[in-house]
Amino acid sequence: MQLAGRVALVTGAGSGIGKAAAQLLAKEGAKVAALGRSDDDVQQTLEEIQKSGGEAIPVLADISQPEAMQQAIQAIADKWGRLDIVFANAGINGVWTALEELDPDEWDKTLNVNLKGTFLTVKYAIPLLKKQGGSVIVTSSVNGTRMFSNTGATAYACSKAGQVAFTKMAALELAEHRIRVNVICPGAITTNIDENTERRALEDIQEPVEFPEGKIPLTDGKPGTSEQVAQLVLFLASDNSSHITGTEVWIDGAQSLLQG
C-alpha cells in the first residue's frame, strides 16, 4: 500500500474524478477526508471506502469561503493531526456564453469557486503539510491551458489557466518545506460536471471546428474515465513522483493537441 499512514484531503469527493481519487487513495492506505458541500454529496463515497476497509471522514465546506475552509482543515487536524496529500479538485464549469452576455456575477462565481477555492484549499492546508512535507495536486483542464476552441468558456478557461500559474508559484515557494505541487489537465472525462454548466446563446459566436474521426485521437473519440485520472493523482501523491513539482500533466488522449 503506497500511502499507508498518510492523510489525504480530496475536495469535490462526492462524484467523478474526486470520488474515484478518494477511493483509490484509500485503497492504497491513505486516511481520506472527503470534502463536499453537504453530507449527501459525500455519503456514497464514504460508504464505499468504508465497505472496502478504508478509513474516511466527511468534511463539509464551500471551498470559496475562507472561514469554511479553515474549519475543514481544522477538522482534519483534530481527527488525525497531520495532512500529507491535498487533491484540490472541486470546481464548476459555470456559465458558457458570449462575453457581452456574461454577467459579472457569473464571472465572479466561476473564478471564486475554481481559482479562489484552490487558493484557500492550499493556503489553509500549508501549516499541516509543512510538518512532514507532502503533495498537492490541483485539477485544472485542457481549457485555458492548451485548448481555446470552446467558445464561450472564457471565465472557466481563465480560472483554469490561473490554477496552472498558481501551481508553479506555489511549487517554488513550498519546495523548501518538501511540499510538491503539481497540476493535472483532464480533457473529456465521463463525469457529471456538465450538470453545473449553463450554455447560453453560443450558436452565433462559435467558430466551426470539425474532426471527422473524433475529437480524441487516442480513443477514436471516446472520453476518458475518472478512474484513469485517479491513477494519475495516485502517482503524483505517491513517492513515485518524489522529484516532480511545478509540472502540469495533460490527460486527454491528445484531444487538446487536435482541438487547441
156 among known catalytic residues: yes
pLDDT at 75: 98
Chain centre to alpha carbon of residue 214? 26
pLDDT at 200: 55
Cell numbers describing residue 232? 494519475
pLDDT at 136: 98
Pairing of strands 85-88, 134-139: parallel
SS (H, E, C) 77-90: HHHHCCCCEEEECC
pLDDT-above-70 percentage for the chain: 91
pLDDT at 101: 94
Pairwise CA distance, residues 58 & 77, whole Å? 13
Q: Write down the mean pLDDT value for the chain.
A: 93
pLDDT at 140: 98
Pairing of strands 31-36, 94-97: unpaired
Q: What is the pLDDT of residues 160-197, one digit of tens each?
A: 999 999 999 999 999 999 999 999 999 999 865 555 56
Looking at residue 252, what DSSP letter applies? S
Query: At residue 156, does pLDDT exceed 80?
Result: yes
Query: At residue 209, does pLDDT exceed 60?
Result: no
pTM of the model: 0.92
Name the active-site residue from 156, 160, 179, 182.
Answer: 156
pLDDT at 217: 85
Q: Quickly tell me which residue has 466561476 as its cell.
A: 110
Cell numbers describing residue 23? 477511493
